[in-house]
């Protein structure tokens, strides 16, 4: 195991005791948490009001970033495709609506579900936050597996109602979101639109569905923000977000709890830790490092103050998929009907990481060996734009309750990614950027 800094030296020896912060039951903490939650809700409502869908706002807009586009859907043939894609083909199978299905995690989760005989229907708006052609290639991959992706927006309540009318989903895997930490400084409204308003729109559809589905959704390790206690545990404080992205994910967890409490929706949040692998996102460091090293471009490597190490708990996509499927399989049924709660419902939060933080400089060294190219490096200070110095997951809860056991180290995972990358971007295809 790679060990390069004081907080990495004994990664297997961190004590799992609760943070002293949680032993304090002061009224100050309770008031602060309530204030934070309602501040997020108020902010979301403001943005929803000013950034309405095109149907109510005649002004020209950027269709891929924030607002709803006009999608063609409906009709008997379309409904037949929905039912066929969502049809369960195994004895104990489930029927799952996967939002963000043309995304990195969505593609892998849907493929795994379909492979074992579950019914899967996708939903994605194919925006251009990164190269849409990669999303279309994933769509083609899923189509060959028998998964149909509805092209539409999670904020389109009419579309969501229709999907639940046509298919009685047992589960929802909610992965649609505006990702990325730094992009929030350029387009903050897209994060509120997707990660807060979009989540509310989906939960509204789920609470009114009959039967109500169980929901598993992607939160993020970013919610731990400026927390310095490692490894990060689900019981640690998450009230110090370091980015707007993190703030919207934390707001999402509070909103999910509200819908669980009021409407009896079964909800499970998964805090992903730096997911990587084939078919990944071009905005992630391992991806654009690979691209730029091959092009002979200089790559920028962050270091913390006083030449400190920047490290991430890199988690291979196959391990994340196993955690997602385990969460779906152990999710209890929602307890509401017709928007009314009939009893307490399950509410869970889990870390899904690898528990082995690796310095970003070592990530680059591994890529250099795999690509057989020496990288041109520029060492710069970690910017104060939302990035944190390190992430490290405590996965004991997921191990105990989900049977989650990550098994892919960074060397092995990057080898698989590089093999995919070289194959995908050969034969006339070129990496963008």
What is the DSSP annotation of 383-427? PSSS--SB--B--HHHHHHH-------HHHHHHHHHHHHHHHT-T
Mean pLDDT of 197-218: 97
Higher-pLDDT residue of 381 and 413 is 413
In tens, the pLDDT along 109-139 reads 999 999 999 999 999 999 999 999 999 999 9
Q: Spell out the domains of the chain, with CATH numbers in brackets.
A: 71-273+317-353+392-407 (3.40.50.720)
Averaged over 312-321, what is the pLDDT? 97
Residue 308 to residue 377: CA distance in whole angstroms: 17
What does the alpha-carbon distance between residue 289 and residue 287 come to, in Å, rounded to a whole number?
5
Distance of alpha carbon 122 from alpha carbon 119, whole angstroms? 10
Cα radius of gyration rounded to whole Å, the chain: 21
Compute φ and ψ for 126, nearest 5 degrees: 55, 45
Nearest to 231 by CA among 393, 358, 390, 5: 393
DSSP string for 255-287 = HHHHHHHHH---EEEEEE--EE-TT--TTSHHH
The sign one gets for the Cα dihedral 353, 244, 138, 169 is positive
Phi, psi (degrees; rounded to nearest 5) at 348: -140, 155
Residue pair 245/386 in contact (Cβ under 8 Å)? The answer is yes
SS3 call for 96: strand
* pLDDT given for residue 339 in this prediction: 85
b/e code 296-314 from CB counts within 10 Å (16+ = b): eeebebbbbeeebbbbbbb
Q: What is the pLDDT of residue 9?
A: 43
User: Which of the four pLDDT bands, split at 50, 70 and 90, describes residue 53?
Assistant: very low
Rounded-to-integer distance, Cα 308 and Cα 379, Å: 12
pLDDT above 80: residue 321:
yes
Question: Stretch 268-297: mean pLDDT, rounded?
Answer: 97
More confident residue, 227 or 362: 362
- Residue for token digits 């895997």? 173
Just list the catalytic residues.
245
Of 47-61, 196-210, 250-264, 355-369, least confident by mean pLDDT is 47-61
Q: Given this model, what pLDDT does residue 20 score?
A: 42
Q: What is the pLDDT of residue 64?
A: 35
Which residue from 137, 90, 145, 92 is spatially nearest to 117, judged by alpha carbons? 90
pLDDT at res. 51: 44
Q: pLDDT of 66-108, one tens digit each?
A: 344 567 788 999 999 999 999 999 999 999 999 999 999 999 9
- What is the CB-side half-sphere exposure of residue 110 using CA atoms within 13 A? 33
Q: What is the pLDDT of residue 431?
A: 45
Q: Which residue has 């005989």 as its token pair?
A: 117
Q: Report residue 7's pLDDT band, with 50, 70 and 90 as the boundaries.
A: very low
pLDDT over 50 at 37, yes or no = yes
Q: Is the pLDDT reported for residue 293 higher than 90? A: yes
Burial class of residue 210 (count of CB atoms within 10 Å of its CB; 0-12, 13-18, 19+): exposed
pTM: 0.84
pLDDT band at 24 (very low <50, low <70, confident <90, very high): very low
Confidence of residue 255 (pLDDT cuts 50, 70, 90): very high
Share of the chain above pLDDT 90, in %: 73
pLDDT at 384: 72
Read off the pLDDT of residues 358-411 as tens digits, 9 standing for 90 and up.
Answer: 999 999 999 999 999 999 999 988 877 667 788 999 999 999 999 999 999 999
CA distance 139 to 147: 8
How high is the pLDDT of residue 236?
95
Q: What is the mean pLDDT of residues 3-11?
A: 39
What is the band of 209 on the pLDDT scale with cuts at 50, 70, 90?
very high
Higher pLDDT, 72 or 299: 299
CA 1 to CA 355: how far, in whole Å?
11
Largest CA distance in the chain: 64
Mean pLDDT rounded to a whole number for the chain = 86
pLDDT the model gives residue 68: 47
Report the pLDDT value the prediction gives residue 71, as an integer from 0 to 100: 75
What pLDDT shows up at residue 223?
A: 96
Which segments within 164-219 are labelled E, that is strand? 171-174, 214-218
Report, as an integer, the average pLDDT of 264-289. Answer: 97
pLDDT at residue 159 above 90?
Answer: yes
Of residues 202, 192, 189, the one with CA closest to residue 62: 189
Residues 6+ apart with CB under 8 A from 256: 199, 203, 215, 217, 265, 267, 269, 347
């Amino acid at each position: 195991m790679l060990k390069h800094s004081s907080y990495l030296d004994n990664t297997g020896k961190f004590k799992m005791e609760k943070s002293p912060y949680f032993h304090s039951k002061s009224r100050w903490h309770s008031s602060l948490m309530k204030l934070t939650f309602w501040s997020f809700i108020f902010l979301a409502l403001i943005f929803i009001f000013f950034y309405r869908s095109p149907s109510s706002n005649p002004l020209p807009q950027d269709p891929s970033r924030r607002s709803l586009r006009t999608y063609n859907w409906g009709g008997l043939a379309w409904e037949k495709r929905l039912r066929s894609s969502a049809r369960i083909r195994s004895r104990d199978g489930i029927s799952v609506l996967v939002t963000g299905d043309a995304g990195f995690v969505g593609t892998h989760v849907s493929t795994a579900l379909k492979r074992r005989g579950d019914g899967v229907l996708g939903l994605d708006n194919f925006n251009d936050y990164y190269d849409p052609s990669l999303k279309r290639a994933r769509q083609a991959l899923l189509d060959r597996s028998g998964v149909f992706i509805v092209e539409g927006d999670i904020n389109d309540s009419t579309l969501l109602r229709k999907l639940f009318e046509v298919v009685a989903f047992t589960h929802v895997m909610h992965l649609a979101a505006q990702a990325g930490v730094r992009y929030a400084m350029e387009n903050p409204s897209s994060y509120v639109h997707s990660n807060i308003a979009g989540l509310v729109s989906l939960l509204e559809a789920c609470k009114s569905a009959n039967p109500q589905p169980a929901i598993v959704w992607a939160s993020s390790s970013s919610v731990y923000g400026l927390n310095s206690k490692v490894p990060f545990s689900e019981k640690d404080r998450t009230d110090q977000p370091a980015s707007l992205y993190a703030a919207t994910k934390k707001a999402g967890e509070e909103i999910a709890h509200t819908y669980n409490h009021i409407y009896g929706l079964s909800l499970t949040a998964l805090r992903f830790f730096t997911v990587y692998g084939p078919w990944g996102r071009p905005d992630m460091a391992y991806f654009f490092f690979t691209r730029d090293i091959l092009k002979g471009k200089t790559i920028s490597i962050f270091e913390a103050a006083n030449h400190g190490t920047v490290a991430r708990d890199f988690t291979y996509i196959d391990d994340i998929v196993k955690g997602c499927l385990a969460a779906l399989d152990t999710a209890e049924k929602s307890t509401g009907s017709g928007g009314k709660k009939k009893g307490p419902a399950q509410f869970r939060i889990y870390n899904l990481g690898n528990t082995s933080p690796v310095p970003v400089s070592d990530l680059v060294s591994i890529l250099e060996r795999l690509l057989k190219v020496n990288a041109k490096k520029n060492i710069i200070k970690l910017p104060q734009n939302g990035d944190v110095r390190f992430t490290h997951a405590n996965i004991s809860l997921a191990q105990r309750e989900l049977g989650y056991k990550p098994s892919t180290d960074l060397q092995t995972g990057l080898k698989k990614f590089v093999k995919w990358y070289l194959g995908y971007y050969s034969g006339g295809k070129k990496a963008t950027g």
